[in-house]
Amino acid sequence: MAIAKVEPLTTARALRGPFDYRLPERMEGVGVGTVLRVPFGRRRVLGVVVEIAERSELPPERLAEPLEALEAGVPAELVRLGLWTAREYCSTPSRGLQLVLPPGTGSGGRRVGPRLERRVALTGAGRDALAGGARLGSRQRAVLEALAEANGGGDLPARQLAVASGSDSATLRRLESRGLVELRQERALRRPRVAAVGDAPGAIRFTAEQEDAAATIVGAIGRGEERELLVHGVTGSGKTEVYLRGAEAALARDRGAIVLVPEIALTPQTLARFRERFGDVVALLHSALREGERYDEWERLRSGAARLCVGPRSAVFAPVSELGLIVIDEEHDPSYKQEGDPRYDARHVARRRAAEAGAVLIAGSATPRPESWLELPRLELSRRVDGRELPEVEVLDMRGDDRRGGPLHPATRKALEALRAEGGKGILLLNRRGWAPHLSCRSCGHTWGCPRCDVSLVVHRSTERLTCHHCGHAEPVPDSCPECGSVTLARHGAGTERLESLLSGLLDPLPVFRLDSDSAGRGGGHPEILARFQDAEAGVLLGTQMVAKGHDFSDVVLSVVLDADAALRFPDFRAEERAFALIAQLAGRSGRGEAGGRVLVQTLAPDAPAIEAAARHDAPGFLAGELERRRALRYPPFAHLVRVELAAGEAADADRVAGGLRSVLEGALPEGSELLGPAPRVRLRGRHRRQLLLKTGDRGATVAAVRDAVEAAARGRALRGAALSVDVDPQ
C-alpha cells in the first residue's frame, strides 16, 4: 500500500506534519509535489505530498484517503527547496511550500487554472469546397475564406473567427458536420505583454575583460561545474552581455537559467534583452502579472516550453528544470530580502538551489556586499565599454550656519543654473517624501506625532494633510497649536514635494519630474514618469532611492545626492554599506553619453569613510575597511544574526513574552552565541515592540533553538496577546 506524507497548507505554527494518507489505486500518479485535497480534522484542505512511503506508523484503518489530486504539481526539487527555506528561516513547512506552488494555489483552493479555447481549422475537404465552388451559405463561405487566409495553415480561435466572418456556433457546427472544418478545444496561453525598453544593441565585440569573465563562466557551465562567482563591474561595463553569454551556454547544453533582478520595475529592460536574444524560451514571473498570465508562464517553465526565467526575488523558486545558471543582478540590493514570513533572502536561497542543481551562480554588481566580496571569487570588469571615465564626484560640506540656501548647497544651485542655461538632464536624489518631515509650534515647541506610532507626522502639501509614513494615519494640517493656541507653526526640513516646487521655480521652463511613491500613484506609475523623462530634451528627475536603481539614461550630465548621510544615520550595521552603494550607484549612472557628467554629494559628514570611498569610486577600498570593522564588531559575514521581534497591544504583554522567550533561549543556544535584549523598538501601528538579537557562529543550531522555543511558545499559551516574528539574516 502506498502512503502519501502530506503537509497541509494551513497557517498554524503549532502543527507538526507531515500527515499520512492512504493512496487508493486510482491515485497511482501521485508523487512528491502533487497537490491534494484532503480531509483534515473536520475540514478539507489542500496539502502537498512531501514523501511517498511504503508503510505508516498508523494502522491502515486509521488513515484517510485524499479526496482528489489537482492537476499541476510542484517539481520534487522545489518541494525540497521550499521545505529547506522554511527551516532555514524559522518558518512553517506550509509557508515554505507556498513559495513553490503553482500561482493561484492557496490554502483556500485554486483560483485560476489553464484556459481552454475553441479553435476552428480548415480541412482538406473545406479547401476543396472553397476552390470548387461548392454550395455554401454566405456566412459559411465567409468562415472558410477567413480560415484560408489565416496565416499558419487555416486555424483560428472561434472567437476571432466570429468577429471576422459574422459566424455563430450554429454555422460552425454545420460546417463541421459537412467535414469542411474541424473544431478543437485547445490550451490558450496568456502571455504578459512586453514593452521594448532601451536601444537595440548593435553588433558587439567583447572587451578583453568581458572575454575573460565569459570564458570562466562558459567553461564552468560547459563542464557542468557547481561554481559561485562575483562579477564586479561598474555600470555600463557590459555585465548584462556577459550574463547573456552565460545563458546562451546553459541553453546550448539543454540546461535552464534564472535571472534575478531587484524589482518588478526593472524586469522590462532585462526581459527585453533576453527575449531579443533567445525569443520565446524566456518567461517572466512576478506578482504584478495577472493571475492567468502568471499561471501560464509558470506552466511554460514547468513543461519545459520555456527554459529561462526573468523575475524579482520570488523567481528564485521558478520551476526551471535541469538548472544550469542563476544570475543575481545588482546583488547588493536589499529588496532580495522578503519582508513577510518566511523572511527569506533570495541570494541565500539561490546559492542553495544552484548547489543542489550543480549550477553556476553569478552575483553581479558595481557595489557588491561585503559578504560576496569576502566569499566569492571575482571577475572584474573595471571599465565602461564606451571607454569613458567615471564622472568626478564633488563632496559638498553642508555644515555651517548659513542655511538660507535651504536644502541646496550654493554649488548645487550653480550647477542647476548652468543646466538650465545649457539645457541638459539631471537626476536629484532625496530619500524623503512629502513637503516637510516635521511640524512644530514656534511658541511652545509642541510637535505633531502619530497617535499609533512613535514617529513624527510628515507635512504633505498637495493633500493638505499630516501623514504617518508607517501606518498611513492622516489628519488635516492644523492652523494653530492645540497646546497654546499660537498660529506660528514651523515646517522643518524638506522632502521631495517641497524640492519639486523649489526646482520648478529655479529651472523654469525646464520640466521637473518627481518619482516617489506619492507621485507614482498620482501620475500613472513609474514607467510613465521615467519614459517622460527619457523622452524630454532637457529637465530634471527628482525622487527617492528609486531614481538610483538600474535605470540607464545616456544623456544625464548632472547627478546630485541631497542628503547623503540620511542612510548613514540609520541605527543599523549595514548603514555604511547602504550609503556607499546609493552614492556609487547614482554616480555610475551619470555621464554615460557624449556630454560626460558631474556628480555632487551634499553631506553633513564629508569625512565618513563610505562617502569618501564612494567619491573615489573605490569599492575595493571601501570593502576592505568595512570588512575590518565587521570583523572587529563580529557582524556578518563573520557571524550570523537572528532577530526575534515581539509586538503586543499592551507594553506589559510585550515585556512578559520577550522576557519569557529570553529565559528559554538562554539555556538553549550553542556555545559562543550572544543574546542581546529584549530592547524596546519604536512603537508602530499601536503595537509595542521588543527585540531579541542573537549573534552566533553556528547558524543551524541557533535557528533550531529559536524554532523550538517559538513552537513551544505557540503550543503553550505563552504567546497570548503577542505576535512574534523571526528574522534570520536581518537586512
| Contact footprint for ligand ADP (CB under 6 A) | 201, 204-207, 210, 233, 235-241, 385
Q: Does 446 bind Zn ion (CB under 5 A)?
A: yes
Question: Helices 169-177 and 158-165 sit at what angle, rounded to 10 degrees?
Answer: 100
Look up residue 315 and give its amino acid: A
Which listed option, ligand ADP, Zn ion, none, makes contact with residue 197 (CB within 5 to 8 Å by class)? none
User: What is the biggest distance separating any 2 CA atoms in the chain, rounded to whole angstroms?
Assistant: 97
Is residue 470 a contact point for Zn ion (CB under 5 A)?
Answer: yes
State in angstroms the smallest separation of the CB of 589 from ligand ADP.
9
Query: Which of ligand ADP, Zn ion, none is residue 447 near (CB under 5 to 8 Å by kind)?
Result: none
| Tally of CB atoms within 10 A around 548 | 22
Judged by CB under 5 A, the stretch of 188-196, 251-259, 331-339, 445-453 that binds Zn ion is 445-453
Q: In what order do the strands lie in the sheet with 425-429?
A: 392-397, 598-603, 556-561, 425-429, 539-543, 512-515
CB of 261 to ligand ADP, least distance (A): 11
Q: In residues, how long is the chain?
A: 731
- Cβ(619)–Cβ(366) under 8 Å? yes
**Cβ pair 542, 513 in contact under 8 A:** yes
Task: Specify the residue, 217 or 468, whose C-beta has the smaller distance to Zn ion.
Answer: 468
Instruction: Decide if 386 contacts 592 (C-beta within 8 A).
Output: yes
- Classify the C-alpha dihedral 236-239-244-248 as positive or negative: positive
Q: Are 547 and 586 in contact (CB under 8 A)?
A: yes
Q: How far is the CB of 308 from ligand ADP (least distance, A)?
A: 17
- Residue 441: contacted member of ligand ADP, Zn ion, none (CB under 5 to 8 Å, by partner type): Zn ion
**236 binding partner (options ligand ADP, Zn ion, none; Cβ < 5 to 8 Å by kind):** ligand ADP
CA of 573: how far to CAs of 121, 343, 422, 637, 660, in Å? 65, 19, 42, 12, 27
Q: Which is nearer to ligand ADP, 243 or 336 (CB)?
A: 243
By CB under 5 A, tell whether 471 contacts Zn ion: yes
Give strand pairing partners of 543: 429, 515
**Residue 237 binds what, of Zn ion, ligand ADP, none (CB under 5 to 8 Å, by partner type)?**
ligand ADP
Q: Is 487 in the site for Zn ion (CB under 5 A)?
A: no
Q: 63 vs 684, which CB is nearer to Zn ion?
A: 684
Q: Which does 486 bind (CB under 5 to 8 A by kind): ligand ADP, Zn ion, none?
A: Zn ion
Phi, psi at 428, each rounded to 5°: -120, 130
Residue with cell string 575595493: 620
Asked if residue 453 binds Zn ion (CB under 5 A), the reply is: yes
- Grid look-up 455554401 returns 136
The only residue of 321, 443, 463, 501 in contact with Zn ion, by rule CB under 5 A: 443
Span interacting with Zn ion, options 64-72, 159-167, 484-492, 699-707, rule CB under 5 A: 484-492
Q: At what angle do helices 651-668 and 699-715 cross, to 10 degrees?
A: 130
When binding is defined by CB under 5 A, the residue of 68, 483, 650, 674 that contacts Zn ion is: 483
Report CA-CA distances (Å) from 375 to 231, 354, 378. Answer: 13, 16, 9
**Residue 85 vs 456, nearer CB to Zn ion:** 456
Nearest in space to 293 (alpha carbons), one of 273, 269, 267, 274: 267
Under rule CB under 5 A, residue 337 binds Zn ion? no
Interacting partner of 397 out of Zn ion, ligand ADP, none (Cβ under 5 to 8 A depending on kind) = none
Stretch that binds Zn ion, among 268-276, 414-422, 477-485, 510-518 (CB under 5 A): 477-485
Cell 521588543, located at residue:
690
Q: Which residue number, 60 or 201, has a Cβ lying nearer to ligand ADP? A: 201
Count of residues interacting with Zn ion (CB under 5 A): 15
Nearer to ligand ADP (CB atom), residue 10 or residue 237: 237
Q: Which residue ranges make up the site for Zn ion (CB under 5 A)?
A: 441, 443-444, 446, 450, 452-453, 468, 470-471, 473, 481, 483-484, 486
